């Protein structure tokens, strides 16, 4: 019996997709760019907020896996997930979701009323995506982008700072870039079976996606460059040196495009961020450079 319980815990943990929790690092964006990175109380608040987002994200993934159960069975990769492969029973998942979601939503509201509202909105947005919004071309990717924006806003609210409009715009554009790249990968990977897995894919084509990727790629770079040079940023952070982090942003986007077009990757942005060494080094250097210019060499 103990062995069976450990298997349930194992498969449940895998279904919560801990590898995707890296996306919730967006919660720390406001902490870094508000000059509060070395404020211990703010660090604890931001970390708690990140954990809450991770758990709520996992609940949303569990719901999504239940909704997409039959379609996932047709996918070459997703068919191996515990729920799709029937290693984890649906009844178990239906019990865990309200318990896990209820506990961490309560904690979110306890931490901060507005943070709780943001987390609740994020959860409903993901449920709406799983049940309905993912069926609409372009809207499906915009919904994903909205989730990243809510992470950034939540990270700002929980430490009681105002998120810069520039960072919000950059987040929207970057998440659209990742979202459209993911759709392109799915389209190429599944070929004629794409619409069977995700019906909205029949409304996309590689050419159409490449056009949108081009738009958001250029917009992301321009927006970030303007952010680093804006008068508001210089006055608030006390530095004009963030402009020197632009090369890292350029390389990161170009590297990702290379992986999407030349290596046919991009279906899992998180996997790229933790397995592609050039990308990992580049992101680390960007973070270090940003900290140095904001906190040590203003």
Counting other chains too, the contacts that 122-125 makes at CB distance below 8 Å and 24 or more residues apart are 122/53, 122/56, 122/147, 122/150, 122/151, 122/154, 123/56, 123/59, 123/60, 125/150
Residue 157 has pLDDT above 60, yes or no: yes
pLDDT in tens, 121-141: 999 999 999 888 988 999 999
Nearest to 82, CA basis, from 99, 68, 65, 67: 65
CB 58 within 8 A of CB 91: no
Q: Give the distance from CA 130 to its chain's centroid.
A: 15
Residue 21 burial (CB < 10 Å; 0-12/13-18/19+)?
A: middle
Structurally, what CATH architecture does the domain formed by 14-163 represent?
Answer: Orthogonal Bundle (1.10)
Q: How confident is the model at residue 1 (pLDDT cuts 50, 70, 90)?
A: low
b (16+ CB within 10 A) / e for 80-94: ebbbbeeebeeeebe
The answer to whether the CB of 129 falls within 8 A of the CB of 150 is: no
pLDDT at 3: 65
CB 27 within 8 A of CB 115: no
Residue 291's H or E segment, with its range, is: helix 277-291
What value does the mean pLDDT take over residues 43-63? 95
Render pLDDT for 206-239 as a digit per residue (tens, 0 to 9): 899 999 999 999 999 999 999 999 999 999 999 9
- Rg of the Cα atoms in the chain: 20
Tell me how far apart the alpha carbons of residues 64 and 132 are, in angstroms, rounded to a whole number.
11
d(CA 234, CA 122): 31
What is d(CA 142, CA 166) in angstroms, rounded to the nearest whole number?
A: 18
What is the per-residue DSSP string for 230-290? Answer: -HHHHHHHT-SGGGGGHHHHHHHHHHHHHHHHTS---S-HHHHHHH-HHHHHHHHHHHHHH
- Where exactly are the structural domains of the chain? 14-163, 164-298
Among 6-10, 76-80, 165-169, 203-207, whose mean pLDDT is lowest? 76-80
Average pLDDT in the chain: 90
Distance from C-alpha of 148 to C-alpha of 162, rounded to nearest angstrom:
16
Give the pTM: 0.91
Over residues 100-119, the pLDDT tens digits come to 999 999 999 999 999 999 99
């Amino acid at each position: 019996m103990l062995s069976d319980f450990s298997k349930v815990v194992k498969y449940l943990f895998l279904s919560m997709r801990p590898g995707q929790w890296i996306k919730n690092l967006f919660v720390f964006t406001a902490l870094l760019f508000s000059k509060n990175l070395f404020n211990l109380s703010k660090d604890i608040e931001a970390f708690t907020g990140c954990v809450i987002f991770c758990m709520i994200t996992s609940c949303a993934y569990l719901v999504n896996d239940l909704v997409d159960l039959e379609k996932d069975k047709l996918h070459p990769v997703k068919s191996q997930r515990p729920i799709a492969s029937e290693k984890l029973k649906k009844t178990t998942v239906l019990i865990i979701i309200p318990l896990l979601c209820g506990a961490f939503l309560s904690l979110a509201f306890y931490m901060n009323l507005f943070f709780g509202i943001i987390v609740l909105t994020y959860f409903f947005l993901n449920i709406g995506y799983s049940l309905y919004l993912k069926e609409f071309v372009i809207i499906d990717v915009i919904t994903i982008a909205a989730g990243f924006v809510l992470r950034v806003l939540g990270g700002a609210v929980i430490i009681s700072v105002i998120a810069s409009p520039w960072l919000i715009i950059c987040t929207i554009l970057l998440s659209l870039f990742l979202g459209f790249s993911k759709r392109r990968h799915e389209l190429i990977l599944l070929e004629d079976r794409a619409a069977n897995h995700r019906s909205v894919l029949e409304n996309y084509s590689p050419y159409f996606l490449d056009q949108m990727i081009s738009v958001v790629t250029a917009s992301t770079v321009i927006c970030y460059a303007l952010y680093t040079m804006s008068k508001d940023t210089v006055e608030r952070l006390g530095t004009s040196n963030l402009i020197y982090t632009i090369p890292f942003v350029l390389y990161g986007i170009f590297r990702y495009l290379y992986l999407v077009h030349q290596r046919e990757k991009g279906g899992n942005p998180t996997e790229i961020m933790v397995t592609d060494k050039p990308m990992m080094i580049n992101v680390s250097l960007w973070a270090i450079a940003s900290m140095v210019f904001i906190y040590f060499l203003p």
